[in-house]
Every structure is written in structure tokens, then in C-alpha cells.
Chains A and B, each alone.
Chain A
Amino acid sequence: MTPIIATDAAAHCADWRLQIEPLNVQEETAIAAEITHYPQPQAATIEALKIVQQQQGWVSDGKIKAIAQRLQMSPDEVDSVATFYNKIYRQPVGSTVISLCDSVSCWIMGYQGLAQALTQELNIALGETTADGAVTILPTPCLGACDHAPVAMVGDQRAHKLTPASLIELARLAQEQEQSL
């Protein structure tokens, strides 16, 4: 019988070295600083993922491998952590991520209308990115700003008491910003 598993593992290993995307200097420095906070380098996994994401916009397979090498873990271990958390993107996202709160207080105050208006305006579904790469819409659990519901994070800014019109305006600004780059 062909040793399928062994062959796959060997191929995987070969891939592993080929596809590694080395950490750049900024990533390396920032991750090294985080490692000093903990008794084990592995504890900095989430920080490392966030640092890479801040630089690259998302975390590619190659960067997962680079983080694994740096923290002395297997790539699968790092990926199991990366895929657990909502805010680590394992696919490219737009320059601006609109995280639209879909939890209970925002739902009562009009989340559904906002989601419908925005997806229609941008002509994409929830979870998708506009063709120009400007905007990704992600529904997100409670943002802890229920006193201003309905809310969204537009990039790292929190937008309060949204209406379909004000939300569309924010998306339009993000698209204009993308064009001017």
C-alpha cells in the first residue's frame, strides 16, 4: 500500500519551507517586545497575529508559518489559534472594515435595516469586500456601545446612532479615500 500519509507529510514539510513569508523588521521587533511579557514565547501568539495583521491587513499562510517558526510552534498550532478568534482575518479584507454590530440592542434599534441598506448600496453580501478593495462588511457581536445603538466600527472609529443614510455616507467616504490613494 502506498504510504499516503507519510508522503503528504513530507510534501507538507517541503511546502512549509517554500512558502514561508519572513517577518519584516517592524513585525520582528514588535513581536520580540511582546515575548518579553510572558514566561513562554507561545503566549505571545495572539499579539504576534495582531502585529502581522496590522502590517499586512490580514494573516496569510506564509506569515502563519513565520510566526510559528519565531514562537517555536507548529504552523497548525498557530493556525488553530488564528481561526479561533473573530478579529484575526485569514483572508484579505478591504482597506476599511465596517464591523456592524448585530447583537440584541442594535438589533432592536435597527440593525437589519442598516445591513440591508449597506449591502444594497455596496452591492456585496455581508462578509464580502467591494471590487475596489475599499470596504469589507462584517457583522460583529455586541460592541459594548449599546447606549449609542445602532453602532458600527468603521476602521478603528466607533460610529454612533447610525441611520441607513449616515452609514452609507461613511462607506462612501471610505471608498473615496481608497480612490485618492
Chain B
Amino acid sequence: MNHGQSSSQAVTLPLSQHIKADGSVTSLAEYQANYGYQGLAKALSMSPSEVVDWVKNANLRGRGGAGFSAGLKWSFVPPLEKLPGQRYVICNADEMEPGTFKDRWLMEHDPHQLIEGLAIAAYAVQADTAFIFLRADYDLCAERLQNAIDEALAAGLLGEQLNEAGFSLTMLMHTSAGRYICGEETALINSLEGKRANPRFKPPFPQVSGLFGRPTVVNNAETLCNLPHILYHGIDWFADLGLGDDNGTKIYGVSGRVNNPGCWELPIGTTVADIIALAGGMQEGVQLRGFLPGGGSTDFLTRDHLGLAMDYGTIQAAGSRMGTGTMILLDDQTCVVGMVLNLIQFFAQESCGWCTPCRNGLPFIRQILTDLEAGLGEHADLEQLLQLCGYIGIGNTFCALAPGAAEPLQSALKYFRDDFVAHIEQGCCPHGNSPQVDMDLEKEARPI
């Protein structure tokens, strides 16, 4: 295989190249004017296993949060000769992680890019049916994606007999009815089967037994959007885009009290400070105190970490996770106890209720934080919170929702402990927040 093959013009920010400032959608003609669907054509001229190897060698890491190699994941799907019959690929566009809006940005502006990427993934694992699992409330994405699927079908880019070997692909959209847990890939599969979205036990992994018991690959929307470019421009080009150990670009986002919140495609490994600078810096009169690097279920980092490269390894070494790459900033006017309470409230509400540490632990934590925020906390609460973070941590729960919920809390206790203590000693929130203390919940959640 010719890995270095390149179509010369130096595209450095491939995923966002069609995104227009006015927010309008890229049409099929506009998309095709710029090598659109040529990555798919190239894939269709290769054998499926060559495509898997190509993407494996490109070391495209999953952009849904965990950073698992896409090509490696695909290679776990048994070959057709060994396991004939139906298989599926699913685009995970559930995107309900608090503070995350990158997939929406990609899908709203350039739906064909996702469709092409999903088709490439389907071909690689020989799936004749692909689903886009789209979160509820993304009404504009739903409309634009469905139009784009129809356009691609009419143009013969999807459908029957896409190459000489007779590969055919049906692409379907499922819009969710809303629950954060649907983003967990096995819960997503249950949801697509029309069930309650409780996660499934692994193994078997979905690549072997997933949707309707058939081999299934689930990839994040941004992961899939990378594929057309990797196929078209080659592996060396992709490797050169990244600044550090990781390859390619990343859609980074910033929200919170900055002048210009938004998201941008940048070389993967851009520093935190450079990303925040793109967001126009902090609003007048507020100071940055810390940030959640990649959504609500990542550990806080602080001003000391501004110089770090936003890539998987660097952020992990600093004690957090790059997650979705969309940061949420904590400023000095915002109460960190209130912010963590807000996050825990989200996770408690969105827990699927399957396992006890998560179902009961999160409401318990919520009540302690509610008391603390209202100035009714005690010093012993802080130790208890840390202990609870351990109880809901990795290995104790059925899926990663609860361990994720522990991350902002445990790191807030590490970096901003003084804020918690101030609530206890002053008997109120120094920022003047006063959440409703639910006395019934308190009785329920606190065994005497």
C-alpha cells in the first residue's frame, strides 16, 4: 500500500474546511467540488481488510472520549468467512455530555462528511446497514442529515452495488427520545432495539455480538468525520497534522465566561492556553480558576496546567482526561461547590438506575453537596464525599457513568478544598447561592 500518497494541496484543517461562517449547510455539490466522496471511492476500490489496516496504521483514536484506536476496534469484527450474515455500524451522535457541542457543529454544517465517513466504516466491516443515532433536540441536524442522506442516495453514492464486488449500504437515522446513558455504546444498542437504555454486560463486545445479536461497530461522529480525509490524503499526511504523540486534528471547544465561546478545529496537541485564547480570553472582571478539559465527566485542572498540550496522553498524565475536548471553564465569580452540585445533579438524574452505587450513591452525594452549598455542611462531609467517590469509582459500577461523575467532584476536593471549607465555616455560600434543601430527600439519603 502506498501510505504516503498524497493529493498534494496542503489541507491542514480538513474537518472544518467546508464550514461557513453564516451557519448554512454544505450542499452535495459544494462537498464534491473538494474531493467529497473520493475517500469513499478509494476505500471501495480497496479490499475491506486493507481499509481496516489503513485506518489502524493511521492510528485514528476515537473522539467519543476514550481514545480507542478505530482501526483496532474494527479488526475485532470477525471476518465474513468466519461469521457470515448481517452486521451493523452505528454513528454515536448522542452527544449529551455536559459542555459538549462539537458533533452538532460538524453535523449541522457538513452532513455529507459524516455520511461519507460512516459509509467507509460500513465497508470496512462489511455492514450493509448503518444507523445514525442522533440525540433528541438536534432538530436542525436531523433535518440536514436526512436531506443529505437522500441527496447521496439519489446520486448513487449510497444504496445498491456501490462497487464491483457488489457492496450495498442502507443508511438510517434514529432520533433518540433523550437520556444521557444512550451515549454509552451498549446502552445505545439497547435503545436502538427499542428498549430501555440500560448498558449491557461485556463481554461479549458489540464487535462480536451487538445490535440484534450481530457484530456491530459504534463510533463517535467526529471519529467518522476523519475517515474520508485519511483515505484520500493518506496516513503520513494524517500523522503530520498532530503536534505531539497523537495524529490528526481535534475539534476543541470552550464554554463558560469567555468573550467568544465556540469550537475550532486545531492540530491535536494544541495547548490549553492557545485554545482559551481563541475563545477571546475571559470576560472583563472575571479570572480563570480551573477547567474541565473535556466535558462534565473529566477531572478539573487548574491555571498551572494551561501550558499543557490537549492530547490524550498529556492530559491523562496530569490526572484528568481529554474526554470530548470541549472545555468548561471555572471562573472566580462562579461557586465551585455549586458547579459540582449542578454536575452531580445531572448524573444523578441521568443514571439509568441499573446498579446500586450509581443509583443510590449519586443522590446521596447530591444531598451532601446541597447541604454544603446551603451552608449546612460539616467538616466530616468532605471525607465522606471522597469515600463516596471511591464507592462509585471504576470497577464498582456496571458502566462508566458513575466513575465519570466522580471525576469533577474528587478533583474539586483536591484543588478547591478551601472553597468547600469556606461554605462550612461561613455557614453559607460565599457566592450567595442558596439551593433549595429538600428535607425529605435528606432523610431518605442519609441513613441515621
Contact = CB atoms under 8 A, between A and B. Distances in A.
Contacts of A46: 174, 176-177, 191, 194
A146 B172 contact: no
Interface in A102-140: 102-105, 107-109, 112, 140
Given A85-B179, A108-B256, A146-B101, A39 B212 contact: yes
B193 to A, nearest CB: 5
A108 B196 CA distance: 32
Interface in B242-263: 253-257, 261-263
Given A50-B175, A105-B255, A147-B262, A142 B191 contact: no
B339 A108 contact: yes
Given A49-B177, A99-B137, A104-B343, A43 B96 contact: no
Nearest to A83: B196
Given A80-B196, A86-B177, A146 B212 contact: no
Interface string B211-239: 01000000000000000000000000000
Contact of B97 (A43, A81, A142): A142
Nearest to B141: A144
B205 interface: no
B138 interface: yes
Contact of B177 (A42, A71, A85, A103): A85
Contacts of B136: 85-87
Contact of A142 (B99, B193, B257, B334): B99
Interface residues of A, number: 42
Contact of A104 (B95, B98, B101, B196): B98
Q: Is the interface of A mostly helix, strand, loop or mixed?
A: mixed
B135 interface: yes
Interface string A88-105: 100000000001001111
B178 A42 contact: no
Given A86-B178, A87-B136, A158-B140, A147 B197 contact: no
A143 interface: yes
B167 interface: no
A57 B100 CA distance: 29
Interface in B338-354: 338-339, 342-343, 346, 349-350, 352
Nearest to B352: A84
B334 A149 contact: no
A109 B342 contact: no
Contacts of A37: 172
A156 B139 contact: yes
Contacts of B334: 108
Nearest to B334: A108
A130 B191 CA distance: 33
Given A43-B193, A86-B179, A103-B342, A145 B104 contact: yes
A102 B263 CA distance: 21
> Which residue, B137, B180, B331, has most C-beta atoms of chain A within 10 A?
B137
B210 interface: no
A2 interface: no
B206 to A, nearest CB: 16
Contact of A84 (B135, B197, B326, B338): B197
B192 interface: yes
Interface string A43-60: 111110110000000000
B96 A141 contact: yes
A7 interface: no
Nearest to A84: B196
A45 B339 contact: no
A113 to B, nearest CB: 12
B91 interface: no
Contacts of B135: 144
A39 B194 CA distance: 12
A40 interface: yes
21 contacts: A39-B212, A40-B193, A43-B192, A46-B174, A46-B177, A50-B175, A50-B177, A81-B194, A104-B98, A104-B296, A104-B328, A108-B334, A109-B257, A141-B346, A141-B350, A144-B103, A146-B255, A147-B263, A149-B255, A153-B137, A158-B140
Interface of A: 37-40, 42-47, 49-50, 71, 80-81, 84-88, 99, 102-105, 107-109, 112, 140-149, 153, 156, 158
Given A87-B177, A99-B137, A144-B101, 11 more contacts: A40-B212, A50-B175, A71-B194, A86-B177, A103-B342, A104-B98, A104-B296, A104-B339, A141-B349, A145-B104, A146-B255
The 3 closest A-B pairs by CB, nearest first: A85-B177, A45-B194, A146-B255
